[in-house]
C-alpha cells in the first residue's frame, strides 16, 4: 500500500476496545460514555480485518485501546495473530498496555509470540499515580511490569510529559528504566477529545524536558527506530535509550507509515485528522473480501499529508475523538 505522498503503509494499529480500567486525566473524562457493545467488531472480525491488511503488505501490528487486556477473551485474537508472526507473514505483533492486567497475561503474551510491549507509566509516585489515573494503583502496575520483564518481554515505558505532575521525575524515570533494562519514551500531550481540563496547563514541550535531562545524563542521538514516530537518544550512563515523541514541537508526518482501526472497524488514515473510512459495512457485506479490499485501497488513496495539532484554549481539542478511540 502506497499513499499519495509515496509513503509505504506497513504498520497497523488496532484499538480492540474503547474501554479501560483507568481514567488518565489527559486521555479520558471521568464520566466517559463508551460504545454500545453491538457496534463493536467481534474478535473474529478484528482478525479478518488484520489479515486483510497483512495480505496488503502490513508487516507490523500493534494492539491498543482503551486497555487491550480488558477485552474479554483477547488472548484468542493475540494467539491467532501470533501465528502470522510464526508463519513469517508478519514481522512483529506488539501491544500497548497500562500494565494493570499484566501479572495475569505476561506469560501468555510471550508464548503467543509477542517480543516487545509498551507499558504506560507516568509517575513512580503512588499518590501521583492515583491522581493521574484517577482509578489506578501503582503497585499493581509495577507488579505487571515486573511480570512482563520476568516473561522475557522487551519493555518500553511510555510517559506523557505533564506540567505540574511528573516534571520533576524524568531523571528518576531514566535511572529506574536504566536499572531494569527498559527503554523510556516521553510523549507530548496531544489535544484529542474533551477531558474537562485545560490542556494548556498540562502541556510541556519535550525540548524543555530534553534540555533538563541533558544536565544529568549524556544523550547521544541514534538512528534507532521501532517503526513508530519516536526519535531516540542513547543514555551513556545507563546504556538504555530514551525516546521523544514530539507531535507538537516537531511534526513527524513526513515518514508516517501507519493507519489505525477502531474497535468498530473505522479506519483512520491519520491520528490527527477526522477523515475516516468505515470498514465494518464492507466486512459484513460479504464473506469474500473483495468489498473490504476495495474500501482499504480507497482509504489509503486518501491518507492526508499530516496532522495539524494546535493546543489553543479558544478552539478546544484539535480532533474531537479521544486517544482511546484510535489508540496510542
Q: Which residues bind ligand SAM (CB under 6 A)?
A: 20, 26-27, 64-65, 67, 96-98, 120, 158, 160, 187, 189-190, 192, 323-324, 327-328
String of DSSP letters for 55-67: HTT--EEEEESS-
In the list ligand SF4, ligand SAM, none, the entry touching 257 (Cβ below 5 to 8 angstroms by class) is none
Q: Cβ of residue 302: shortest distance to ligand SAM, in angstroms?
A: 24
> Nearest 5°: phi and psi at 106?
-55, -45
- Between 3 and 67, name the residue whose CB sits nearer to ligand SF4: 67
Which residues make beta-bridge pairs with 201?
none
Query: Residue for cell digits 501468555?
Result: 108
Phi, psi dihedral angles at 196 (to 5 degrees): 55, 40
The nearer residue to ligand SF4, 28 or 177, going by C-beta atoms, is 28
Torsion over CA of 14, 16, 19 and 25, rounded to 10 degrees?
-20
- Of 272, 125, 101, 118, whose CA–CA distance to 185 is shortest? 118
- Residue ranges in 82-141 that form contacts with ligand SF4 under rule CB under 6 A: 98, 120
**What is the C-alpha to C-alpha distance for residues 98 and 22, in angstroms, rounded to an integer?**
8
Residue 155 contact partner, candidates ligand SF4, ligand SAM, none, CB within 5 to 8 A by sort of partner = none
Among 1, 14, 16, 28, binds ligand SF4 (CB under 6 A): 28
Kindly identify the residues of this chain, within the stretch 296-325, that bind ligand SF4 according to CB under 6 A: 324
Binding ligand SF4 (rule: CB under 6 A), the pick from 7, 13, 23, 303 is 23
Instruction: Answer for the pair 275, 326: CB distance below 8 angstroms, yes or no.
Output: no
Tell the smallest beta-carbon distance from residue 226 to ligand SF4 (Å). Answer: 19
Candidates 21-29, 146-154, 195-203, 272-280: pick the segment binding ligand SF4 (CB under 6 A): 21-29
Residue 23 contact, options ligand SF4, ligand SAM, none, Cβ 5-8 Å cut-off depending on partner type: ligand SF4
Measured from the CB atom, the residue of 242 and 283 that comes closer to ligand SAM is: 242
Residue nearer to ligand SAM on the CB measure, 96 or 238: 96
Does the protein bind ligand SF4 through residue 326 (CB under 6 A)?
no
Start-end of H helices in the chain: 43-55, 74-86, 102-111, 126-133, 138-150, 170-180, 199-202, 206-214, 280-285, 290-300, 323-326
Residues 48-57 as b/e (b if ≥16 CB within 10 A, e otherwise) read bbbbbbbeee
Enclosing H/E stretch for 277: strand 276-278
In the complex, which residues of this chain contact ligand SF4 (CB under 6 A)?
Answer: 20, 22-24, 27-28, 65-67, 98, 120, 324
Amino acid at each position: 500500500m502506497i499513499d499519495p505522498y509515496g509513503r509505504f503503509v506497513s504498520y497497523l494499529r488496532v484499538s480492540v476496545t474503547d474501554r479501560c480500567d483507568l481514567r488518565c486525566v489527559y486521555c479520558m473524562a471521568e464520566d466517559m460514555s463508551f460504545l454500545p457493545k453491538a457496534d463493536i467488531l467481534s474478535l473474529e472480525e478484528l482478525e479478518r480485518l488484520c489479515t486483510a491488511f497483512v495480505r496488503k503488505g502490513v508487516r507490523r501490528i500493534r494492539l491498543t485501546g482503551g486497555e487491550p487486556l480488558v477485552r474479554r477473551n483477547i488472548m484468542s485474537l493475540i494467539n491467532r495473530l501470533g501465528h502470522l508472526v510464526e508463519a513469517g507473514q508478519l514481522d512483529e505483533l506488539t501491544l500497548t498496555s497500562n500494565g494493570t492486567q499484566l501479572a495475569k497475561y505476561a506469560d501468555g503474551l510471550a508464548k503467543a509470540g509477542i517480543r516487545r510491549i509498551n507499558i504506560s507509566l507516568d509517575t513512580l509516585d503512588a499518590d501521583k499515580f492515583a491522581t493521574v489515573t484517577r482509578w489506578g494503583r501503582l503497585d499493581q502496575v509495577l507488579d505487571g511490569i515486573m511480570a512482563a520483564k520476568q516473561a522475557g518481554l522487551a519493555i518500553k515505558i511510555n510517559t506523557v510529559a505533564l506540567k505540574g505532575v511528573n516534571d520533576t521525575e524524568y531523571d528518576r524515570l531514566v535511572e529506574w528504566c536504566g536499572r531494569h533494562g527498559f527503554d523510556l519514551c516521553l510523549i507530548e500531550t496531544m489535544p484529542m477529545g474533551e477531558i474537562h481540563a485545560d490542556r494548556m496547563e498540562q502541556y510541556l514541550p519535550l525540548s524543555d524536558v530534553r534540555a533538563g535531562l541533558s544536565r544529568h545524563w549524556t544523550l547521544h542521538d541514534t538512528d534507532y527506530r521501532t517503526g513508530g514516530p519516536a526519535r531516540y537518544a542513547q543514555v551513556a550512563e545507563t546504556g538504555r535509550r530514551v525516546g521523544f515523541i514530539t507531535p507538537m514541537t516537531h511534526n513527524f508526518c513526513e515518514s508516517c507509515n501507519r493507519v489505525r482501526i477502531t474497535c468498530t472497524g473505522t479506519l483512520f488514515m491519520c491520528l490527527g485528522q477526522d477523515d475516516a473510512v468505515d470498514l465494518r459495512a464492507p466486512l459484513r457485506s460479504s464473506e469474500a473480501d473483495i468489498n473490504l479490499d476495495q474500501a482499504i485501497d480507497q482509504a489509503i488513496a486518501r491518507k492526508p499529508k499530516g496532522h495539524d495539532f494546535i493546543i489553543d484554549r479558544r478552539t478546544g481539542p484539535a480532533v474531537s475523538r479521544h486517544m482511546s478511540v484510535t489508540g496510542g
